[in-house]
Structure 1
């Protein structure tokens, strides 16, 4: 009798584990499907213009900072305005313009490097290097925001987890909440998401004569 009971207990345990496993796999498939839809939507646009808010918080270190910025994206090219600086990537080189120092830093960037975090990857960074699962669904001012939890697969990564908020209707990213292993939390919230905007032919071109008194620092 005891043997039968023990066998039943083991069977129930195995069944329970399998059910959890199947449920997790189903959740992962849902998360993957939603991420794929976001990627497809991003790639369907000729260009994207985003206004965003960036928050950095760490209660232990008494850090609480807020900044605003905007970025224009087209393919792997971008113009980023953030924290008083402008960063231009023309597809080959990055130009960081610092008005406060009257300086321009020019460097080559390997955009194919998976470890290089760049604005052009901001909307599709999640396609590799993460485990993902469905998280909470929230109503934000009438918008349904589905969160997906991303866990870095690299154990040396200083980020504990990332919550990616996706607008269920538009498939646009609403916000990104990144929690570090040391308690630092950064939040990027998209305030405005515009697509297929009329852009200047020189939108992603660094024009040196606009900065006549600036020191041009070629880093490589």
Structure 2
């Protein structure tokens, strides 16, 4: 028997899928991370070139490992030995078949909010790769766009700074200061209203808390 949270998640997911469809996305709901991994692998044909932006969600569901272990042409920036190689790998990602990411926040009517330090992730989501797959935990859903922006700035960004060697005010006290630090990971803010061309973006909603 489903618990109240599962019932709510499924109802919210159906609302989101309808709203995303109106915004020209393909969208699916998976109750568990295991189901989300299976769906993502089904969507990416073997032999495809793939890359991804920094994402705790993709690691948590096991998708990065599955792609590295599978039959795919993988562009992984983390395998780069130098900054030059890292840049070259990032540029290759713009021409890959499938680019993978999560989002920092999403409104109930289907608008995504992402914040980046270098901008490579929001740039690739916006333009370049033929297909973009976004895996989104139910914890990323916010009531409206204003709430999504606040979540991205006040929740996701301060937590994500702990993953990097940066010097920002939020690394000290966990609170967004709207800083102008040279190390800020909030340099680029993207608000995405639609998938264009239609169906370029594929959303996998997951009924679990994933990522930050």
Question: What's the TM-score, normalizing by structure 1?
Answer: 0.24
Q: Which has the larger radius of gyration?
A: 1
TM-score after normalising by structure 2: 0.25
Structure in which a larger fraction of residues adopt helix:
2
Considering Cα pairs closer than 8 Å and 6+ residues apart, tell me whether 1 or 2 has the greater RCO.
2
